[in-house]
Amino acid sequence: MKRLQYKFIIPSTLAFLALVFACNKSFLDKPALGALSQATLANKTGLDGLLIGAYSMLDGQGGAAGLSWGSAESNWVFGSVDADDSYKGSTPSDQGDIVPLETWALSTSGNSYVNQKWQALYDGIQRANEVIRVMRLATGVSTADTVQYKAECLFLRALYHFEGIRMWGPKIPYVDENITPLNNNVNVPNDKDITASVEADFQYAIDNLPSDYKNISPVPKGRANKWAAKAFLAKCICSSISTPMPEQCLQTSLTTEPLLTVINMRWDCMKPTLMQPPRTDQKAYLYARCP
């Protein structure tokens, strides 16, 4: 009996236990090794990187088909080329999809530039949202940092949405941080005017961003600050007026705070050269640019 116990029962029991405890279902659940996942990014370094990633869509390079020169905020195609500021260049058939835009003769859908722009903008919006989503899981981030991250993200999100409004009008999908494939709600309808939501995002940025970053070295000149947010809110208000003629725009928006402060601040910058107070006529509209 004793021999049997040593030779058979004990080893087989051990083997049985090893099998039962070694191979539960989570044994097969392995994280992706050597790759960045949400878990590895849920900290300050990860959030900083994701935020830079959201800024980087300003150059339009990214998304499913975004190209830096085709879908950037600088709008070479939709601004410079369409306004006769520059020519498409090259031989006639090179990037032929610019031709109907350049000649204002877009008659068929499926123009690659329009698609690229759309994809790049929503990629930018979702990159900004992703910072907020990961931030909610992050550890070691102070409350002040949280507010700063959120304010920059909402600024970028509003900026990309506003760019979309300028391209396609105010009825485009408004995508906030709750829209994800995981929540299965990415088919966002485009049935309502989203201007109010965009203005609310800009307003959050105005309320929570600092006026400048001079206390940081080197100074992050490219980071959104309160004035950038105010200028864009002013621009957004201007463009939401049904007939955006400079005079009417000015009459309406001069009664709103953002544009006035931007004009005044712009004046502060220019005072040494202009030597006269800002005029409250239509030319002041031209000052409503980001300082």
Q: Which is nearer to other proteins, 54 or 249 (CB)?
A: 54
Task: State in angstroms the smallest separation of the CB of 191 from other proteins.
Answer: 14
3-state secondary structure of 106: coil
Interface with other proteins (CB under 8 A), residue total 63
Distance, CA of 14 to CA of 141 (rounded, Å): 47
Per-residue tokens: 291? 């300082």
Q: Does 169 bind other proteins (CB under 8 A)?
A: no
Segment lying near other proteins (by CB under 8 A), choices 10-18, 19-27, 182-190, 244-252: 182-190
Q: Does 42 bind other proteins (CB under 8 A)?
A: no
Q: How many CA atoms lie within 13 A of 276 on its CB side?
A: 3
Choice from 150, 157, 161, 223 touching other proteins (CB under 8 A) = 223
Distance, CA of 230 to CA of 262 (rounded, Å): 7
Choice from 173, 231, 253, 258 touching other proteins (CB under 8 A) = 173
User: Rounded to a whole number, what is the distance in angstroms from the first to the last CA of the chain?
Assistant: 92
Question: Please, which residues have CB within 8 angstroms of residue 181's CB and are 6 or more apart in sequence?
Answer: none
**Distance of alpha carbon 11 from its chain centroid, rounded?**
61
| Contacts (CB under 8 A) with other proteins, residues 84-143 | 90-94, 96-97, 99-100, 105, 107-110, 112, 118-120, 122-123, 125-127, 129-130
The total of other beta-carbon atoms located within 10 Å of residue 160's CB is 25
Per-residue tokens: 12? 């087989």
Q: Does 261 bind other proteins (CB under 8 A)?
A: no
Footprint on this chain of other proteins (rule: CB under 8 A):
31-32, 35-38, 41, 46, 49-56, 58-59, 61-64, 66, 68, 90-94, 96-97, 99-100, 105, 107-110, 112, 118-120, 122-123, 125-127, 129-130, 173, 175, 179-181, 186-188, 218-223
